[in-house]
Amino acid sequence: MTVKNLNDLIAEGVEGRYVLVRSDFNVPLNENREITDSGRITASLPTLKKLVDGGAKVIVMAHLGRPKGEVNEKFSLAPVAAALSEELGQYVALAGDVVGEDAHERANGLTEGDVLLLENVRFDPRETSKDAAERGEFADQLVALTGENGAFVSDGFGVVHRAQASVYDVAQRLPHYAGQLVEKEIKVLGEVASNPAKPYVVVLGGSKVSDKLGVIEALAPKTDALIIGGGMCYTFLAAQGHNVQKSLLQEEMIDTCRDLLERFGDSIVLPVDVVAADRFDKDAEKRTVDVSEIPEGWMGLDMGPKSVELFAARLAEAKTIFWNGPMGVFEFPAFADGTKGVAEAMISATENGAFSVVGGGDSAASVRTLGLNEDGFSHISTGGGASLEFLEGKTLPGVDVLEN
């Protein structure tokens, strides 16, 4: 794959030139609309700083949440603009709209090294439209903000698996380049997907088997161990014949899990004990029990210590590790030990020479939430769904469109 990168754009010259950047600022907010994990904002800084230092007039596009094509103050990028201003060390203005009068006025007023953040691109229904003509119309309006000599930099890896206007259609209309973040993600994940050093261990968590079925099918034949935890493990445990009580269960997937265990049972590693709770609550009564002994009416909310020990032993042997999805409800401190234990085992393996990748999403958030050393991993991806689809071997429209 031949993709022009940020260095190519800088070499061609950006001083005084409008550069449209697609970043991923889909950050978690609490009930007070305060950012609880600014990892994605921090990850965007190298590309933005390079453009600012080069004298570009930078216009950033991003989304937050799922406003479903309607203007909704709850999903405004105002908290992001404030955080970005602080982290970038300069004022970042937020346009009051996406491609309307305010966006145009602010874009026209930019001088060299200025940064403008457009309001949430998903406030416009055309951003995510399945109709290419509708997306194209919106892309034309975004491109119109850049004048005669604009350029596009794709730096939001978390959205490159979507054929959306600001990701895909804009790239078809402007000279396009991979930002430093996207370039690094493609390089690292490309190596893991095509040539992982063995033993290769994949850790999958999260809630639903159906969300990870494609990646399980794709990776199980390639891995030396496929560790399954989180909410999705209970459907596998049910397929083994265990009564998982009120634990998260996809009954319609039990036969599928049984088939996966028959085909890949030698490599699939499941928990042997869990931390069960009497209800889904941070203050719930809890007990550590064997997977076959979950109390009646209770639910598993985390992996038990024997499971963590089992998983850690497999991780200690690994030369390549990919992890996507927490092992339990890490947001509740009482049920965070499984996720923390697996993460710490990955850090230990990395110190012993393994190449470790945290596959974005909740996994990356848990690393920061639990106060773990981010430098203890070889790479922390910013794209959960994108990293999974990349490893699964799917075509990512936002990467494909950057090819020359």
The answer on whether 255 is annotated among ligand-binding residues is no
Told to judge if 130 belongs to the known catalytic residues of this protein, a careful annotator would answer: no
The answer on whether 131 is annotated among ligand-binding residues is no
Cross-sheet strand order for the sheet of 379-380: 268-269, 225-228, 200-204, 320-324, 355-358, 379-380
The answer on whether 371 is annotated among ligand-binding residues is no
Q: For strand 57-61 and strand 18-22, is the pairing parallel, antiparallel, or unpaired?
A: parallel
Which of 49, 173, 184, 208 is flagged as catalytic?
A: 208
The answer on whether 157 is annotated among ligand-binding residues is no
Q: What share of the chain is helix, strand, coil (3-state, %, to 5)?
A: 45, 15, 40
The answer on whether 66 is annotated among ligand-binding residues is yes
Residues 388, 334: Cα–Cα separation, whole Å: 28
The answer on whether 394 is annotated among ligand-binding residues is no
The answer on whether 361 is annotated among ligand-binding residues is yes
Told to judge if 231 belongs to the known catalytic residues of this protein, a careful annotator would answer: no
Question: What is the distance, to the nearest Å, from the Cα of residue 198 to the centroid of all Cα atoms in its chain?
Answer: 25
The answer on whether 362 is annotated among ligand-binding residues is yes
E strands, 62-165, are 92-94, 115-117, 151-154
User: Among 283, 291, 391, 372, which residue's Cα sits nearest to residue 326?
Assistant: 372
Told to judge if 208 belongs to the known catalytic residues of this protein, a careful annotator would answer: yes
* DSSP helix/strand/coil, 98: coil
The answer on whether 212 is annotated among ligand-binding residues is yes
Which of 54, 231, 385, 398 is flagged as catalytic?
A: 385
Told to judge if 40 belongs to the known catalytic residues of this protein, a careful annotator would answer: yes
Decide: 61 and 142 in contact? Cβ < 8 Å. Answer: yes
Which of 4, 22, 40, 50 is flagged as catalytic?
A: 40
Other residues' Cβ atoms within 10 Å of the Cβ of residue 287: 14
The answer on whether 230 is annotated among ligand-binding residues is no
Which of 361, 383, 384, 398 is flagged as catalytic?
A: 361
The answer on whether 24 is annotated among ligand-binding residues is yes
Positive or negative, the Cα torsion across 244, 246, 250, 255?
positive
Residues 40, 27: Cα–Cα separation, whole Å: 7
Residues 109, 313: Cα–Cα separation, whole Å: 58
Q: Which residues are catalytic?
A: 40, 208, 361, 385
Binding-site residues for substrate, please? 24-26, 40, 63-66, 122, 162
Known binding-site residues for (2R)-3-phosphoglycerate equal 40, 122, 162
Residue stretches of the annotated binding site: 24-26, 40, 63-66, 122, 162, 212, 300, 331, 360-363
Please state the residue numbers annotated as binding site for ATP. Answer: 212, 300, 331, 360-363
